[in-house]
Amino acid sequence: MTGKLRAALLAASIIQGMAACAAPAASQATAPPPISLSGSSGLVRIPSADVLPYGDYSLGVNFLEAKYRSYWASDTMLHFASVAVFPRVEVTARITNIDGRLGVQYYDLLPGQAYGGWNFDRAFGVHVQLLKQSERLPLSLAVGDQDVTGNTAFGARYLVASHRQPRYGIHLGTGDGFLGTLFAGVDYQPHPKVRIAIDHDGNRANIGCTIQIQRLLLMPTLSGFRSFGGGIAYWQRM
């Protein structure tokens, strides 16, 4: 995906978001919890202690340049499906194309070639909300593992706490893998269908937004505050 195309996608997302803000809020679906670039509940790169409501699911794809989701020297395209299989338990299946393209491809191992085979990584993650914010408890607490069965190429284990108010959330956690020992972020909703998030994954700061148009979620991001990325998801509330 070229820089011009990514910029065009970001511009289109912003225009669609402005149109969504101008439309009556009652005509659109209720906003879901924020979804990170890993496909599970979170901000831009970091997880949060939010969780999909029981029975909800989301399907989507997103793109990141190689240095922000590193695997060899290639850009990546993530395909994900997340489902709240039990109350406060969310599972996510991920297929990451390490050539930065949609779908997956197979390469024959040719003479003199270092590698061949399928150009993707598979991962299965679990996100569990241990504590839920209430009048007596000022925060939610969640744990997760983003690659419980794979080779952990894009994996991370974490513990995260979130405090949420109607229009904003504050998040702080600790992790490993692509997450740093300490990560944090904030998100803010200027409109019921628009959410802006800034986080630091322990390595760099990132900014992004989620724009809801009916059941579609447009998620443009600026990784490291310099590289366009993001994607699109479909969300359904049962």
How do residues 122-140 score in pLDDT, each as one tens digit?
Answer: 899 999 999 999 999 999 9
Task: Give the end-to-end CA distance of the chain in Å, rounded to a whole number.
Answer: 34
| pLDDT greater at residue 31 or residue 226 | 226
For residue 74, CA distances in Å to 5, 41, 156 come to 17, 26, 20
Specify if 43 maps to a domain: yes
> How confident is the model over 133-166, as pLDDT tens digits?
999 999 999 999 999 886 667 889 999 999 999 9
Specify if 33 maps to a domain: no
Dihedral of the alpha carbons of 21, 197, 103, 154, in degrees to the nearest 10: -170
Specify if 27 maps to a domain: no
CATH number at residue 153: 2.40.160.40
**32 pLDDT higher than 50:** yes
Q: Which of the four pLDDT bands, split at 50, 70 and 90, describes residue 67?
A: confident
Mean pLDDT of 61-69: 85
Token digits of residue 216: 């579609």
**95 pLDDT higher than 60:** yes
| pLDDT greater at residue 237 or residue 56 | 56
Specify if 34 maps to a domain: no
- Give CA–CA dist 68/226, Å, rounded: 11
Specify if 126 maps to a domain: yes
C-beta separation of 43 from 34 below 8 A: yes
| pLDDT greater at residue 28 or residue 155 | 155
Q: Where in the sequence is the domain holding 99, given as residue range(s)?
A: 3-21+39-104+115-236
**22 pLDDT higher than 50:** no
